[in-house]
Amino acid sequence: MKPCYNRRTMEDISHILNDLNDAQRQAVSAPLSNLLVLAGAGSGKTRVLVHRIAWLIAAEGLSPFNILAVTFTNKAAREMNERIESMLGLSSNAMWVGTFHGLAHRLLRAHYQEAGLSQNFQILDSDDQYRMIRRLMREHDIDENQWPPKQVQWFINQKKDDGLRAGDIKAFDYFEKNMLKMYALYEEACFQQHLVDFAELLLRTFELMRDNLSVLDHYQKRFRYWLVDEFQDTNRLQYAWLKLLCHSGNKIMVVGDDDQSIYSWRGAQVENIRRFEEDFKPVTHIRLEQNYRSTGTILNAANTLIENNNDRMGKTLWTESSEGEPISIYAAFNDLDEARFIVDKIKQWQHSGRLLREAAVLYRSNAQSRILEEAFLQAGVPYRIHGGLRFYERAEIKDALAYLRLLENTNNDSAFERIINVPVRGIGNRSVATIREIARESGLSLWQAALKIMDESLLPSRAVSAISAFIELIQELQVQIADLKLPDKIKQVLHLSTLLDHYRKERGEKARAKVENLEELSSAAAQFIEELREDVDGDPLTQFLAHTALEAGEGQADKFTDCAQLMTMHSAKGLEFPLVFIAGLEEGLFPHQMSLEDQKGCLEERRLCYVGMTRAMEKLILSYAEVRALYGRETYQAPSRFLHEIPRECVEEIRPRAKVTIPQSRGFHKPKPVSKFKDYDAAGFRPGQLVAHAKFGQGIVLAVEGEGDGARVQVNFKKAGSKWLLQSFAKLETIA
DNA sequence: ACCTGAAATATTTTT
DNA sequence: TATTTCAGGT
């Protein structure tokens, strides 16, 4: 490693502290001790983290090699890496910066033997985990209606997040007894197949360190300084990790905000902040309270709202920026009206010369996105919905990955089962059931059981030959791809498995998209190879498979198109937008019905609202509907309590203009999604229409010009951006 | 294997 | 209401 950090001079040091406010400077230049930084929304948290790292290297003389920074999302890790790189000129290889899961994975790869894993262990994502649990339950004749697999999955993950193995838990009642039984079954199966789920990554690493003093000692010596982002989101296991590793002379800086704790429902322990003060004594406290993001009005409103929570550590954000515009509250007649209002405002915003991507619509639950989407579609305003199905979670991608996984480890039962008959090759349920049965009887993997069936002809000859064809295919593939580069491996697998042809033959837009996705998979692999860090060992395929499980694979293609952003308030955390809408501020929706019952849930909802509001930089617009269609019923809900908690002087109420026509009876006037319209105009397309192009993929029609052969269509493609196309030339297909 | 109709079911999400 | 999942028939 090049000691480029040695070249730092005193000038550099003062440079690090420039442009920081007092509190920030205090945090960045604090002496080497344990630090708790309570960083309010928009107070320059990431900045402090990055500058602190620079300071540690320049002023304290620490080697990047000894510093480790942990975040929760890949995005945050990436951002931090970029900023470190641009500030210090350090290659990101020099320092460990990553998510808890990413770090755990790296440690397990390096010490797979001590951790009791095989070299090619694979990672289960939550979908894989769910399928696995369901499969095991069926195998053991456990009633899925009485014990919903989802609940079992939740139980298992919750226990793992608390650091508990099935054997560590004593069952108190019938329910727990059964849950434990399934936990044990699952644990056993994962162990046998060398599969590791997300929680297991952390648990295994914890156990590895706990039980291997030499390994622990090595990393305790290596990681001298820890930085933890979003500390309020840590769970018990992650905290235990920190306590174990960050020991004996090592120092740690945690940055968090108790007011932004919105993940307690999945095990995050805000209490860890208080625990930290105890366990890591002595702790220096620093509060970052100056906000650089929002206007005075927005901040004032958010502050007043959050003051209604009585469980806070206490913190009041302030700003030097001006009051700004008042917060608008729109009382819509119904959800439809609300959606139209929002789209309308965004259009105005755009017409006033601003960018669409500066506007975000936030909501409590994903279900709300549909009606908004329809409104955007109808108005022909480009939008992007965040969340939902990710690239690596798509069924066809998971099929392809299952082939790769099986090729790596033929004993991977979940991969085997996933593709044994995909594409259909005459191995029906009966054959699969027999394979499963034999596997169970003789304690073999499905693959081994299939071999046995072949050898001993345990099924009718037609089934046996179908199975042997499959086995031969896999073996053939193993030989074929052995010497290929990763992207070519994937291409070859897609080709020889006939997976690609299978979808190519299929008609319709869905199949077309699947083909596109599959083709994109090899480019994703190519890109992955390029960015692969050299200091991490392991076969590229193994690395790539882990990558697909750990990274969502957010489409970066449409990052550049100018779109309004739609997302839940949860996924908006960490982001900021000049214009923010929060939709559906109604009792029962936000705060959500499910959270209303207990006090804690309500407090968390309020924090969520706080997070949502503090995303706004210039203008915040809140809205609620008096009537909302919910599960087919028209429900009348009172305006959210949160609206009453915002000071009047910050607010400007907007009432619908009289001339807005409100559909009296829903359904009658309800506008169908544009894609369902039959009355196209001359060119065959109308703005808002979803279309597909052979080369550019899916897109949305923005404008239509001219008629007949000369007609031109402007299409905003998801991946390729906005383009003008000759309608007669480009074979655009409409998407139903 | 594919189609069809009934039944279930509907917070928040990253890794 | 709308979507997804599943069983059963063809």
Q: Is the pLDDT of residue A218 over 80?
A: yes
Protein CA at A631 to nucleotide C1' at B9, angstroms = 10
A615 belongs to the catalytic site = yes
Catalytic residue among A128, A197, A229, A396: A229
Protein CA at A370 to nucleotide C1' at C5, angstroms = 21
How confident is the model over A276-311, as pLDDT tens digits? 999 998 999 999 999 999 999 999 999 999 999 998
Catalytic residue among A47, A615, A619, A718: A615
Q: What is the pLDDT of residue A141?
A: 80
Residue A543's identity, in one-letter code, is Q
What's the rounded mean pLDDT across residues A529-537? Answer: 73
Q: What is the pLDDT of residue A270?
A: 94
Give the integer Cα–Cα distance in Å for A455 and A462.
14
Q: Does the nearest atom of strand B lie within 7 Å of A547's Cβ?
A: no
Q: What is the pLDDT of residue A709?
A: 39
Q: What is the pLDDT of residue A510?
A: 75
**Smallest CA–C1' separation from A426: which nucleotide?**
B1
Angle at A489 between CA A486 and CA A495, to 5 degrees: 145
Give the integer Cα–Cα distance in Å for A203 and A483.
35
Q: Are A716 and A733 in contact (CB under 8 A)?
A: no
CB atoms within 10 A of CB A18: 8
Q: What is the pLDDT of residue A687?
A: 58
Q: What is the pLDDT of residue A148?
A: 85
Nucleotides of chain B touched by protein CB (<7 A): 1-2, 9-15
Catalytic residue among A24, A25, A26, A45: A45
What's the rounded mean pLDDT across residues A85-98? Answer: 82
Q: What is the pLDDT of residue A708?
A: 40
A46 belongs to the catalytic site = yes
Mean pLDDT computed over every residue of chain A: 86
Q: Is the pLDDT of residue A108 over 60?
A: yes
Q: What is the pLDDT of residue A693?
A: 65
Nucleotides of chain C touched by protein CB (<7 A): 1-3
How confident is the model over A561-585, as pLDDT tens digits? 899 999 999 999 999 999 999 999 9
How confident is the model over A688-699, as pLDDT tens digits? 666 776 655 676
A559 DSSP 8-state letter = G
Q: How confident is the model at residue A98 (pLDDT cuts 50, 70, 90)?
A: very high
User: pTM for this structure?
Assistant: 0.84
Q: Which of A344, A281, A293, A284 is nearest to A319 (CA)?
A: A293
Q: Does the nearest atom of strand B lie within 7 Å of A234's Cβ?
A: no
Protein CA at A47 to nucleotide C1' at C10, angstroms = 65
Tell me the C-alpha to C-alpha distance, in Å, between residue A505 and each of A131, A421, A516.
28, 17, 13
Percent over 90 (pLDDT), chain A: 58
How confident is the model over A24-57, as pLDDT tens digits? 999 999 999 999 999 999 999 999 999 999 999 9
Q: Is the pLDDT of residue A718 over 80?
A: no
Angle at A413 between CA A407 and CA A414, to 5 degrees: 95
Q: How confident is the model at residue A356 (pLDDT cuts 50, 70, 90)?
A: very high
Q: What is the pLDDT of residue A673?
A: 32
Give the integer Cα–Cα distance in Å for A701 and A382.
9
Q: What is the pLDDT of residue A679?
A: 26
For chain A, the 3-state helix, strand and coil shares in percent, each to the nearest 5, are 50, 15, 35
Greatest Cα-to-Cα distance within chain A, rounded to the nearest angstrom: 82
Protein CA at A125 to nucleotide C1' at C4, angstroms = 21
More confident residue, A418 or A695: A418
Q: How confident is the model at residue A715 (pLDDT cuts 50, 70, 90)?
A: low
Q: How confident is the model at residue A717 (pLDDT cuts 50, 70, 90)?
A: low
Start-to-end CA distance of chain A, whole Å, equals 56
More confident residue, A225 or A597: A225
More confident residue, A243 or A699: A243
Query: Residues 146-175, chain A: which have Cβ under 7 A from strand B?
Result: 148
Lowest average pLDDT, out of A462-466, A645-649, A731-735, goes to A731-735
Q: Which residues contact A184 (CB under 8 A, 6 or more apart)?
A: A166, A167
DSSP β-ladder status, A251-256 and A225-228? parallel
Protein CA at A577 to nucleotide C1' at B2, angstroms = 48
Q: What is the pLDDT of residue A676?
A: 25
Q: What is the pLDDT of residue A725?
A: 57
Protein CA at A623 to nucleotide C1' at C8, angstroms = 47
Phi, psi of A445, deg, nearest 5: -80, 165
Phi, psi of A652, deg, nearest 5: -130, 120
Give the HSE-up count for residue A206: Cα atoms under 13 Å, Cβ half-sphere.
22
A229 belongs to the catalytic site = yes
More confident residue, A397 or A389: A397
A210 belongs to the catalytic site = no
For residue A690, the surrounding DSSP H or E stretch is strand A690-693
Q: Is the pLDDT of residue A261 over 60?
A: yes
For A144, the token pair is 């899925």
Q: What is the pLDDT of residue A44?
A: 93
How confident is the model over A109-128, as pLDDT tens digits? 999 999 999 998 999 988 88
Q: Are A218 and A110 in contact (CB under 8 A)?
A: no
Lowest average pLDDT, out of A12-26, A158-172, A407-421, goes to A12-26
Give the integer Cα–Cα distance in Å for A43 and A24.
9
Give the integer Cα–Cα distance in Å for A188 and A544.
26
Residue at token pair 């990436």: A78
Q: What is the pLDDT of residue A387?
A: 82
For A534, the token pair is 């050299």
Q: What is the pLDDT of residue A364?
A: 95
Percent over 70 (pLDDT), chain A: 85
More confident residue, A67 or A690: A67
